[in-house]
A and B are shown apart, each in its own frame.
Chain A
Amino acid sequence: MIFARVASEVIDPAEVLARVGSDRDGATLLFLGVVRDHADDRPVSGMRYDAYEEMAGEVLSKIAAEAAERLGTDRVAVVHRFGELAIGEVSVAIAVSSPHREEAYEASRYVIEQLKERLPVWKKEHYVDGVSEWVEGNVPPGTASGAEPVAVGVAVGTGGDA
């Protein structure tokens, strides 16, 4: 079955993994996106994820359905978290299964790459030095992609790299 969810609760990878797999499947893959302790060379102490929750749930469901179509089966599960996350916490879990490994790898990769392009979710890195900044992101396809105005003060992202 296809499962997609955007939620604030801690992600249990085993629970996501348990949503895929069948007697027909010889390959099961679990991908975890995890909060790491640095951005380039700058030490990071944690991350805040914001979400346009209602829309993000819909977009994630679409992405999972597209991945399932590529996989040729319906065994795709993805959960994305929002809220304040500590180093080592899981921000996204993607589980897929298929008879052979090629389709599973392709579908898993499709979900993570597409959600980075399209999911209305944002992350703010908290640095060890006490500063926090929104991470530069991607302008989603199907929208205007004008440059950000020349900002006085804090930059909000490049806005032009989609």
Chain B
Amino acid sequence: MSVPVHTLFFAAYRDRLGLSELTVELAQGATVADLVAELRGRGSPFDILPEQPAVAVNRTYAMLDEPLGAGDEVAFIPPVAGG
């Protein structure tokens, strides 16, 4: 059974990937770290993502060990610059 998660890319990440969203299938029990490894493992252009990126899971900031479930929304958050 694979688990589909919905990933979002913003600002510099979106520009450099040429992509604002992507659905990724992960193994049951996968974490944010597994998602990052899966994407970076695809090579260019996904290798521009940091090994330890800031992310939000379902609109809440999260660490890399956060478990993911089907339908979760994972946003890759470049350093923020509001104001």
> Which residues from A are CB-within-8-Å of B63?
142-144
Are A143 and B81 touching (Cβ within 8 A)?
no
Complexed CA–CA distance, A30 and B78 (Å): 29
Q: B65 to chain A: closest CB distance in Å?
A: 9
> Which residues from B are CB-within-8-Å of A85?
none
Are A140 and B11 touching (Cβ within 8 A)?
no
Are B81 and A123 touching (Cβ within 8 A)?
yes
Complexed CA–CA distance, A145 and B80 (Å): 12
Complexed CA–CA distance, A113 and B52 (Å): 25
Are B82 and A158 touching (Cβ within 8 A)?
no
Contact of A137 among B56, B64, B81 (CB under 8 A): B81
Counting CB contacts under 8 A, is B75 at the interface? yes
Are A137 and B79 touching (Cβ within 8 A)?
yes
> Which residues from B are CB-within-8-Å of A156?
12-13, 16, 48, 78
A55-B75, A156-B16, A156-B78 known; A146 vs B83 contact (CB < 8 Å): no
Are B78 and A137 touching (Cβ within 8 A)?
yes
Complexed CA–CA distance, A57 and B2 (Å): 32
Complexed CA–CA distance, A142 and B61 (Å): 6
Are B53 and A144 touching (Cβ within 8 A)?
yes
Are A118 and B16 touching (Cβ within 8 A)?
no
> Which residues from B are CB-within-8-Å of A162?
79
A-B pairs with lowest CB-CB distance, top 6: A146-B52, A137-B79, A137-B81, A143-B54, A122-B11, A121-B82
New contact pairs (19) apart from A91-B83, A122-B82, A145-B54, CB-CB < 8 Å: A52-B8, A52-B59, A52-B75, A55-B56, A56-B82, A115-B82, A116-B81, A117-B80, A118-B61, A134-B12, A136-B79, A138-B81, A139-B54, A141-B61, A143-B62, A146-B50, A146-B51, A149-B50, A157-B78
